[in-house]
Amino acid sequence: MKIILASASPRRKELLKLMGINKFEIIVSNEKENLQSNLGIEEQVEKLAMQKAENVLEQTKGEDRIIIGADTIVVKNGKIYGKPKSREEAKEMIKELSGKKHQVITGLCVIVEKQGKREQYLTHDTSNIWIKNMEEKEIDQWLNQNTYQDKAGAYAIQEEFGKYIEKIEGNYFGIVGLPIHLLYDILKKYE
């Protein structure tokens, strides 16, 4: 069955390959990412993942397929840190996260359409992360690499920023952007 990743994220693409899935398509969702204040944080991230997967489902009508949608957010004390819109916003995010514990939550939606029947799986993965106290020059050094723009919370644990991560509780791959342990459990039903 055709597997479609509803994401432009190079990290999610690499994680699918890490799972041994080498044959898949990438179709980027054109769904706008809008948070809804009436939903809990976990519900919001799951809904964003679902919207991406459903958008790609609509783009690919009439064929048997598995569509994987995911979305990752960073949260500290109920405040959501999305992708920064500017360097200044990124710097402020890192300052607020520095020296403190926060959560990374990745929502996962898998839609399977086979012979006209549709099944949907919706879940999320939550990890706790502690970032070391960062000096201003360390924050600037990270931002000078210009790789923070497409990352929730303005950082990536799998890049050089990883040297500032003091501790994690949870699943590393969920933090990177795709909880492959959850995805594996869903996909093995369709082998």
Residues marked as catalytic: 71
Residue 70 phi/psi, 5° resolution? -145, 155
Task: State the Cα–Cα distance between residues 35 and 41, nearest whole angstrom.
Answer: 9
Contacts of 24 (CB under 8 A, 6+ apart): 2, 3, 4, 5, 16
Task: State the Cα–Cα distance between residues 180 and 125, nearest whole angstrom.
Answer: 10
